[in-house]
């Protein structure tokens, strides 16, 4: 210890870091090029597809209504108060609408930014871990070779380039690479979603916490903890109480797995940290409680937190194993590396290792297990709920990539990844041939990309970096091809945008839209202000031909109705109404119905 203390007196830690621990210029350029590629990819084609599903169009419309009213506090949908979610996403979409105009691209740009910031958080955690490992190595070198401090400082300085060649010297780069090319993050970064937003804020909260765990400078450690509590406040604004429960739950699980109690200073930080988080969240929660009181508490807290978690009121059931099936799909194409990383983290946990990488692996393991268990116990289940674990997935898979590229053993994960690519290519061709839902040309292009990448991963046993890059690049290329050649045909039956546009061109631009489908709420955005709502402040859903005829006569006006194709023939035979079949998307037809 005296020797190490003497070394530190001769060479201060901060100077040592600046002198010896900077990444090589090549590594810096590689990281910059990676992020530039991700930026181009994540923003590419965001407006290519219409809003789809029950959620995306509603979230965009809530932001649109707040934007038109210049109201940053009270969310509304169809003019009615809508307290399902907090406001951070709406604020970001409003800002995008203001800068870029009201469009799908503008609304989805917020998701793309959230995805990119999530990748940045993963990269930063990896780099901080690399830094900690390098400092430990440098201390060890100094303690064993103190004479080099005065005699061979240039030689020590030259060793900094070797850091990137060590097993975990590129942990940040490979973890970010996995995060940016994982299917789950890509998919949710292309849709207006609260899940990708809270994934980003939780990722940064836990990144700040883990960086504080590794930091020895107490002043900097307090700043990092302040960043942690600030990000907790943003998480509360992103998706409510889950933004508080998940980060603190992960931290609790982390210390439990390590078998150690948090340091006293961490406990004391709660005294000022929790008020900081609440102060950040209060910029919206405060005015909402002031304006809406018990109504907001009942709707937002009771119904959309506790009832959603404890009951199946919102019709999203799933088995206890639901997320064990979903997580491997979200991790594609890196699922095998995730499994390999979990096995490695388990070994680190059982050995009780306390080095920085082992602590990161244990932290990532806790980051996966806690949300997995928490959401598996919920009565309501959706794939996006588990999205906040993807940064941890990337860290585990990235740590294995960083290590595998310097090892000659343990190749099974890359071989399995390659085999999955080949199997996917074969299965896609068979599906396209039998179903006809995907054009053969598009299927062949995608199959060639996936199959080639998979084959190279199997064949390039000594060039695993090249194989990894090829798999990641093929994933991005497949998404771009699918965006243009596959997605339009699959999405059209799931959205009413084209049907409403055709009806408007036919002269029904002011007609009210009646009878929505439960799994397609896109008319609430594309026919905003014209959708018929019921007494429960929800759109009136289609409930048969009799309902349509009754409402048409009751209102004595032309109604645009979205009718399932199976009921269209029956409506044509009705004698008490006149109909004009405008168009269909293969699933529903949009029909103008007039009373006789």
In whole angstroms, how far apart are CA 175 and each of 42, 132, 461?
17, 16, 21
* Unique residue bearing structure tokens 């621990």: 21
Q: How confident is the model at residue 525 (pLDDT cuts 50, 70, 90)?
A: very high
Q: Kindly state whether residues 326 and 187 are assigned to the same domain.
A: yes
pLDDT at 161 over 90: no
In a domain, residue 103? The reply is: yes
Q: Kindly state whether residues 442 and 505 are assigned to the same domain.
A: no
Supply 211's token pair.
Answer: 């960086």
Domain boundary among 492, 515, 530: 492
Task: Provide the 3-class DSSP secondary structure of residue 34.
Answer: helix
pLDDT at 22 over 60: no
Contact 230, 212 (CB under 8 A): no
Q: Kindly state whether residues 469 and 581 are assigned to the same domain.
A: no
Concatenated DSSP letters of 259-297: T-PPPHHHHHHHHHHHHHHHHHHHHHHHHHHHHHHHHHI
Cα separation, 328 vs 115, whole angstroms: 19
Q: Kindly state whether residues 425 and 277 are assigned to the same domain.
A: no
In whole angstroms, how far apart are CA 164 and each of 38, 156, 172?
22, 15, 10
Q: Kindly state whether residues 50 and 95 are assigned to the same domain.
A: yes
Q: Kindly state whether residues 506 and 388 are assigned to the same domain.
A: no
* Unique residue bearing structure tokens 């053993």: 409
In a domain, residue 405? The reply is: no
Contact 418, 336 (CB under 8 A): no
Q: Kindly state whether residues 442 and 382 are assigned to the same domain.
A: no
Q: Kindly state whether residues 75 and 91 are assigned to the same domain.
A: yes
In a domain, residue 406? The reply is: no
Q: Kindly state whether residues 389 and 533 are assigned to the same domain.
A: no
Domain boundary among 350, 365, 400: 400
Domain boundary among 372, 400, 428: 400
Lowest-pLDDT choice from 181-190, 399-408, 513-522, 536-545: 399-408
Count up the domains in the chain and report the number. 3
Contact 225, 218 (CB under 8 A): no
Query: What's the farthest any 2 CA atoms get from each other in the chain?
Result: 101
pLDDT digits (tens, 9 = 90+) for 27-59: 677 788 888 999 999 999 999 999 998 899 999
pLDDT digits (tens, 9 = 90+) for 248-294: 999 999 999 888 888 889 999 999 999 999 999 999 999 999 999 99
Q: pTM for this one?
A: 0.89
In the Cβ-directed half-sphere of 88, how many Cα atoms lie within 13 Å?
A: 25
Q: Kindly state whether residues 501 and 367 are assigned to the same domain.
A: no
Best CA proximity match to 384, nearest among 42, 45, 39, 56: 56
Rg (CA), the chain: 27
Q: Kindly state whether residues 446 and 389 are assigned to the same domain.
A: no
pLDDT at 63 over 80: yes
In a domain, residue 216? The reply is: yes
Cα separation, 461 vs 468, whole angstroms: 11
User: Strand locations in 474-558, DSSP E?
Assistant: 512-514
In whole angstroms, how far apart are CA 169 and each of 143, 161, 172, 349, 452?
21, 10, 8, 21, 29
pLDDT digits (tens, 9 = 90+) for 211-254: 999 988 889 999 999 999 999 999 999 999 999 999 999 999 99
pLDDT of residue 125: 95
Structural domain for 216, as ranges: 2-400
Cα separation, 36 vs 43, whole angstroms: 11
In a domain, residue 76? The reply is: yes
Cβ neighbours of 451 (radius 10 Å): 20
Q: Kindly state whether residues 461 and 532 are assigned to the same domain.
A: no
Is the peptide bond preceding residue 516 cis, with omega within 30 degrees of 0?
Answer: no
**589: β partners:** 563, 584
Cα separation, 366 vs 209, whole angstroms: 13
In a domain, residue 256? The reply is: yes
């Amino acid at each position: 210890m005296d020797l190490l203390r003497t070394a530190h007196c001769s060479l201060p830690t901060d100077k040592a870091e600046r002198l010896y621990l900077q990444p090589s210029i090549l590594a810096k350029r590689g990281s910059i090029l990676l992020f530039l590629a991700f930026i181009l990819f994540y923003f590419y084609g965001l407006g290519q597809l219409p809003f789809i599903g029950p959620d995306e169009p509603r979230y965009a419309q809530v932001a649109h209504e707040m934007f038109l009213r210049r109201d940053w506090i009270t969310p509304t949908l169809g003019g009615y108060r809508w307290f399902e979610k907090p406001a951070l996403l709406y604020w970001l979409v409003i800002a995008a609408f203001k800068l870029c105009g009201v469009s799908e691209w503008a609304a989805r740009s917020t998701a793309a930014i959230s995805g990119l910031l999530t990748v940045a958080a993963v990269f930063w955690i990896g780099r901080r871990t690399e830094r900690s490992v390098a400092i430990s190595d440098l201390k060890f070198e100094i303690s064993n070779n103190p004479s080099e401090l005065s005699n061979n400082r240039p030689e020590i300085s030259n060793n900094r380039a070797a850091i990137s060649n060590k097993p975990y010297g590129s942990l940040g780069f490979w973890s970010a690479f996995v995060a940016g090319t994982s299917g789950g993050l890509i998919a949710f970064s292309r849709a207006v979603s609260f899940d990708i937003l809270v994934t980003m804020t939780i990722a940064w909260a836990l990144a700040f916490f883990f960086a504080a765990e590794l930091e020895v400078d107490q002043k900097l450690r307090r700043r990092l903890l302040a960043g942690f509590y600030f990000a907790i406040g943003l998480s509360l604004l992103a998706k409510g109480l889950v933004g508080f429960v998940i980060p603190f739950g992960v931290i609790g699980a982390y210390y439990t797995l390590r078998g150690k109690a948090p340091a006293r200073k961490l406990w004391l930080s709660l005294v000022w940290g929790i008020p900081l988080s609440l102060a950040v969240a209060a910029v919206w929660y405060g005015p909402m409680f002031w304006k809406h009181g018990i109504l907001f508490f009942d709707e937002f807290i009771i119904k959309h937190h506790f009832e959603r978690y404890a009951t199946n009121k919102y019709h999203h059931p799933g088995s206890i194993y639901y997320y064990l099936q979903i997580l491997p799909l979200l991790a594609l194409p890196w699922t095998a590396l995730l499994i390999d990383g979990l096995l490695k983290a388990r070994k680190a946990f059982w050995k009780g290792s306390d080095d920085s990488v082992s602590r990161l692996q244990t932290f990532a393991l806790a980051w996966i297990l806690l949300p997995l268990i928490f959401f598996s116990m919920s009565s309501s289940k959706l794939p996006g709920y588990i999205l906040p674990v993807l940064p941890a997935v990337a860290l585990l898979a990235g740590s294995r990539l960083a290590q595998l590229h310097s090892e000659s053993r343990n190749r099974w994960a890359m071989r399995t990844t390659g085999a999955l690519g080949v199997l996917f290519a074969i299965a896609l061709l068979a599906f396209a041939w039998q179903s006809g839902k995907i054009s053969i040309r598009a299927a062949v292009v995608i199959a060639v990309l996936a199959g080639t990448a998979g084959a190279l991963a199997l064949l390039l046993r000594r060039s695993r970096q090249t194989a990894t890059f090829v798999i990641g690049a093929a994933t991005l290329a497949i998404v771009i091809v699918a965006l243009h050649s596959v997605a339009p045909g699959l999405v059209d039956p799931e959205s009413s945008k084209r049907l409403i546009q055709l009806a408007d061109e036919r002269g029904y631009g002011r007609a009210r839209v009646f009878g929505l489908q439960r799994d397609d709420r896109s008319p609430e955005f594309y026919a905003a202000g014209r959708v018929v709502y019921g007494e429960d402040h929800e759109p009136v859903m289609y409930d048969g031909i009799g309902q349509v005829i009754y409402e048409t006569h009751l209102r004595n006006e032309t109604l645009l109705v979205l009718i399932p194709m199976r009921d269209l023939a029956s409506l044509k035979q009705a004698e008490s109404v006149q109909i004009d079949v405008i168009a269909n998307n293969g699933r529903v037809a949009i029909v103008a119905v007039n009373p006789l």
